[in-house]
Amino acid sequence: MKAGGTVFYLIVLYLLVVCAACGVGVAEMFLGALPSHYEPLRIALSCCATAGIGGCLYCLRAVYLNRCVRKSWDTDWHTWYFLRPIASFICGGASFLFLKAGLLVLESNTKENASEIGFYALAFIAGLNVDKFVAKIEGVAYAVWGIEKSRSASAATGVNDGEGSHN
């Protein structure tokens, strides 16, 4: 087996383990296995884990497309496969913060407990598409506080979204 093949299988195994861990975490939180003193963090932690699942899905899709369909597997992207689920996990937490702060709105009228699923849906999308989510958050930061977008976010909203060449 080639060295590149070993890393390929390590990446796939890593993505599957992270996805499974996030899935088990979400399931455990929904089933009430979270210790009671962590209950105030349940939605935030569930958002992080849900975004982690979205990030792993995106990476697994990229593995399939680049290794199997396009036959364009590139070792320069190996680090990306390991870091992307972590970035997705963090974006899930950020999505929770921005929704909870009212800086992002899911619906015009809020119903008790109805918006919790919206938190998870947005977190999944944030994990699935990190670049667009970060660009959106930077747009909110500019609109609310006048903070300019970073160079990486500006590039992400241009012709190449930062992930388009490797999705």
Write out pLDDT tens, residues 14-44: 999 999 999 999 999 999 999 999 999 999 9
Write out pLDDT tens, residues 50-100: 999 999 999 999 999 999 999 999 999 999 999 999 999 999 999 999 999
CB within 8 Å of 28: residues ≥ 6 apart: 34
Tokens of 74: 């590139």
Residues of the chain above pLDDT 90, percent? 78
Residue holding tokens 């670049």? 131
What is the pLDDT at residue 151? 76
Q: Which residue has the higher pLDDT, 38 or 167?
A: 38
Q: Which residue has the higher pLDDT, 3 or 16?
A: 16
- Binning pLDDT at 50, 70 and 90, where does residue 117 land? very high
What is the pLDDT at residue 153? 53
Does pTM top 0.75 for this prediction? yes
Tokens of 8: 């390929």
What is the pLDDT at residue 108? 55
What is the pLDDT at residue 161? 38
Q: Which residue has the higher pLDDT, 18 or 111?
A: 18
What is the pLDDT at residue 162? 42
166: part of which helix (H) or strand (E)?
none
Amino acid identity of residue 106, one-letter, is L
- The structural domain count of the chain equals 1
Please provide the average confidence, as pLDDT, over all residues in the chain: 89
Domain span at residue 16? Answer: 3-166
Burial call 9-21: b when 16+ CB within 10 Å, e when fewer: eebbeebeebbee
What is the pLDDT at residue 158? 53
What is the pLDDT at residue 109? 59
Q: Which of 149, 134, 144, 133 is nearest to 103 (CA)?
A: 144
Contact indicator for 147, 138 with CB cutoff of 8 Å: yes
> Integer distance in angstroms from the first to the last C-alpha of the chain?
25
Q: Which of 73, 81, 72, 76 is nearest to 10 (CA)?
A: 81
Q: In 3-state terms, what secondary structure has residue 160? A: coil
Quote the CA–CA distance of 60 and 22 in Å, as a whole number: 15
